[in-house]
Amino acid sequence: MDALGRHRRSGVCATLEAMLPVCILLNAASSLKAEDGGGIEELATEKEAEESHRQDSVNLLTFILLLTATILTIWLFKHRRVRFLHETGLAMIYGLLVGVILRYGIPATSYHHQTPPSCSLKEGPVSTLLLNVSGKFFEYTLKGEINSREIHNVEQNDMLRKVTFDPEVFFNILLPPIIFHAGYSLKKRHFFRNLGSILTYAFLGTAISCFVIGNLMYGVVKLMKLLGQLNDKFYYTDCLFFGAVISATDPVTVLAIFNELHADGDLYALLFGESVMNDAVAIVLSSSIVAYQPSGANTHMFDAAAFFKSVGVFLGIFSGSFIMGAATGVVTALISKFTKLHCFPLLETALFFLMSWSTFLLAEACGFTGVVAVLFCGITQAHYTYNNLSEESTKRTKQLFEVLHFLAENFIFSYMGLALFTFQNHIFSPIFIIGAFIAIFIGRALNIYPLTFLLNLGRRHKIKGNFQHMMMFAGLRGAMAFALAIRDTATYARQMMFTTTLLIVFFTVWVFGGGTTPMLSWLHIRVGVDPDQDPQSSVDNFQVLQGDGTQAEGQSKTKQESAWLFRLWYTFDHNYLKPMLTHSGPPLTTTLPSYCGPLASCLTTPRAYENHEQLKDQDSDVIHNDGDLTFTFGDSAITANGASGSGADMAGGSGWSANGKRSGSTSEEALERELDLREQELLSRGTRLVFPMEDHV
């Protein structure tokens, strides 16, 4: 422990002192170590590495303490039913505070005076560099390019740079669990019912938003040039990139409140679906724009050939990621179907986790986008694999990803708060920032209102005006925009964008996030009543389910509403995919043509026959039966659950859910499932009012 090392620790301590009594311990340990190693003056590699490791520990510890503080405050807020500030907003505030301390609490020159030594090479940068120090060789790995301004920062304040995480950490470690959880916890019924609208908003809407914002910002940039406020290059493609980055809306804050208040289910599905899918779109869009940039030679202006190439890249990456995600999901479903892994929930959960993670790595290794693949993997897993898992594993996997998602999300938001002060290359340009705020407002408006108008032409169940305003209002920017913006902050333009993105995230999360509850009541959107329970809120969809088999008219409406493409898919999924990949659905032997007989019987498990026997025409879109209802439906409902092997399992499930302790999301799921069961009830009474129409085949 050399003097340098001790200085450095004291610097960190100065920071932490304000927060917690860890510092005393740190200093004690420091002196303890200093004593025992005091005799050695050698500045060895090992010591350097040890010091760096210790520094990393302190940094991570800072974040963990931040998260702990956030959790405790969230609890207080939930306990007191405070709703004006969501946990993510809170995490940002704590992050900000620590950022301020790190930035201004430590004298900039308190430690590490050294300028890092540099050496020259003629060749380009390589991943591994050897350093020869008097005959001994040391290996160095490339971290990245550093611009001339930053070199001085390296000298000035090493710690601030250290606390600034590698942006790739966000993409490779923090985003995947968030996005997977979004896919896995998707409420399938509401989602699939509104699939057309969701895809329209996500693809067309995000593209509109991206181009509107990009063009408006290009105007702003031109204005800045005129006013002499721009110090460096800022191309048209940079503006478009900004448009893509800032078009990714965040599901977190608003939807947590929706969930808590039990706001309208369709509105929830629209917002959630849009924000989840447009994350994927924004990632691929932004990387397509980056891919466009170099091909456009030096002009950085519009070029039709390059544009279509970028569109090609977009489609290629998107569909590649989609296929990869869906494929992994299907493989997992097949494994879980054809092994008896469900007898060992630990193995099953571990396999599920590994397969879901491998999607990400596989996509990344293939040059597709891991995060997008993970989203579709999550949806596939929820749709197929979930049905094959044991009762216990369904809970375990849900809870595992819930915790990972929660931690990752709060980490990102507290890091955002921190980054406002610790990131060293902020470029605050008032004109750009004001312009951006106006642009995202216009972009969002041109996304929601025109598209809703068009969608309403085709939709039976119109998206009403107050829903549109709510969707407009709920366009928060969050983790994804931040992660995309921080990914590359090498140029002047990117740094300005990063600063602006950060401010937009802060503003939208605090103001729009905090204003969700008042906004809901102001727009007269009914809360507290679950839409599934309330026939008034979405009459045309639900009357068929509420009635007792006499309202054939309702069914036909439902039929008309579903697009033929969706209907086709549904039939195919229900008759072939589900039976092939899960234990539920009708046995393949009954749905496949007779010449496929041997194959069909090979792919059908005894359990599927069993299910079929007991619940013939039943549409088992159910994820898993919930106990509250099992009591009502008795044994036949129990065996309807593809996941449970025996009645005893379900008894377990029933007790579990009977305890009445459910978080917001779980209780809504329960209600959703209840609805599914009602459908089943209708069906098993022989009325065959199927939704959405399996008898159409």
Interface residue with a copy of itself, options 40, 173, 539, 552 (CB under 8 A) = 40
Q: How far is the CB of 395 from a copy of itself (least distance, A)?
A: 8
Nearer to a copy of itself by C-beta: 314 or 467?
Answer: 314
Nearer to a copy of itself by C-beta: 53 or 688?
Answer: 53
Residue closest to 418 by CA, chosen among 13, 147, 59, 158: 59
> Is 388 in contact with 374 (CB distance < 8 Å)?
no
Nearer to a copy of itself by C-beta: 533 or 665?
Answer: 665
Nearer to a copy of itself by C-beta: 361 or 596?
Answer: 361
Residue closest to 162 by CA, chosen among 67, 51, 70: 51
What tokens appear for 271 in the block?
């917002």
Q: Is 77 in the site for a copy of itself (CB under 8 A)?
A: no
Binders of a copy of itself among residues 51 to 70 (CB under 8 A) are 51-54, 57-58, 60-61, 64-65, 67-68
Contacts 24+ apart (CB under 8 A), 34-40: 34/1, 34/6, 37/1, 38/1
Nearer to a copy of itself by C-beta: 245 or 351?
Answer: 351
Binders of a copy of itself among residues 457 to 496 (CB under 8 A) are none
Q: How far is the CB of 611 from a copy of itself (least distance, A)?
A: 20
| Whole-number CA gyration radius for the chain | 28
Nearer to a copy of itself by C-beta: 93 or 651?
Answer: 651
Nearer to a copy of itself by C-beta: 30 or 541?
Answer: 30
Q: How far is the CB of 659 from a copy of itself (least distance, A)?
A: 3
Q: How far is the CB of 596 from a copy of itself (least distance, A)?
A: 24
Q: What distance in Å separates the CA atoms of residue 47 and residue 343, rounded to the nearest whole number?
A: 49
393: which residues sit within 8 A by CB, 6+ positions away? 342, 345, 348, 349, 352
Q: What distance in Å separates the CA atoms of residue 193 and residue 436, rounded to the nearest whole number?
A: 34
Q: How far is the CB of 37 from a copy of itself (least distance, A)?
A: 8
Interface residue with a copy of itself, options 7, 18, 78, 548 (CB under 8 A) = 78
Q: How far is the CB of 212 from a copy of itself (least distance, A)?
A: 27
Q: How far is the CB of 324 from a copy of itself (least distance, A)?
A: 8
Nearer to a copy of itself by C-beta: 360 or 542?
Answer: 360
Backbone angles phi, psi at 97, to 5 degrees: -60, -50
> Is 381 in contact with 387 (CB distance < 8 Å)?
no
Annotate each residue in 331-370 with x if it binds a copy of itself (CB under 8 A) or - if it does not, as one string.
----x---xxx-xxxxx-xxx-xxx-xx--xx-xxxxx-x
Opening angle at CA 610, ends 604 and 612, nearest 5? 80
Annotate each residue in 289-328 with x if it binds a copy of itself (CB under 8 A) or - if it does not, as one string.
--x--xx-------------x--xx--x---x---x----
Binders of a copy of itself among residues 212 to 251 (CB under 8 A) are none
Nearer to a copy of itself by C-beta: 393 or 684?
Answer: 393
Q: Is 81 in the site for a copy of itself (CB under 8 A)?
A: no
Q: How far is the CB of 83 from a copy of itself (least distance, A)?
A: 15
Q: Is 45 in the site for a copy of itself (CB under 8 A)?
A: yes
194: which residues sit within 8 A by CB, 6+ positions away? 266, 269, 270, 273
- Across 184-215, b (16+ Cβ under 10 Å) vs e yields bbbbbbbbbbbbbbbebbbbbbbbbbbbbbbb
Q: How far is the CB of 449 from a copy of itself (least distance, A)?
A: 36
> Is 67 in contact with 407 (CB distance < 8 Å)?
yes
38: which residues sit within 8 A by CB, 6+ positions away? 1
Backbone angles phi, psi at 130, to 5 degrees: -105, 140
Interface residue with a copy of itself, options 89, 243, 417, 653 (CB under 8 A) = 653
Q: How far is the CB of 183 from a copy of itself (least distance, A)?
A: 19
Q: What distance in Å separates the CA atoms of residue 644 and residue 236, rounded to the nearest whole number?
A: 57
Interface residue with a copy of itself, options 7, 18, 72, 563 (CB under 8 A) = 72
Binders of a copy of itself among residues 114 to 153 (CB under 8 A) are 114, 116-134, 136-148, 151
Give how many residues touch a copy of itself by CB under 8 A: 131
Q: How far is the CB of 50 from a copy of itself (least distance, A)?
A: 9
> Is 484 in contact with 248 (CB distance < 8 Å)?
yes
Binders of a copy of itself among residues 657 to 676 (CB under 8 A) are 657-661, 663
| Cα dihedral: 467, 199, 558, 615 (round 10) | -120
Interface residue with a copy of itself, options 153, 605, 654, 687 (CB under 8 A) = 654
Binders of a copy of itself among residues 363 to 422 (CB under 8 A) are 364-368, 370, 390-392, 396, 399-400, 402-403, 406-407
Can you tell me which residue has the tokens 């990714």? 248
Binders of a copy of itself among residues 595 to 634 (CB under 8 A) are 627
DSSP for 50-79, written as a single string: HHHHHHHHHHHHHHHHHHHHHHHHHHHHHH
Which of the 8 DSSP states describes residue 438?
H
Q: How many CB atoms lie within 10 A of CB 629?
A: 20
Residue type, 39: G
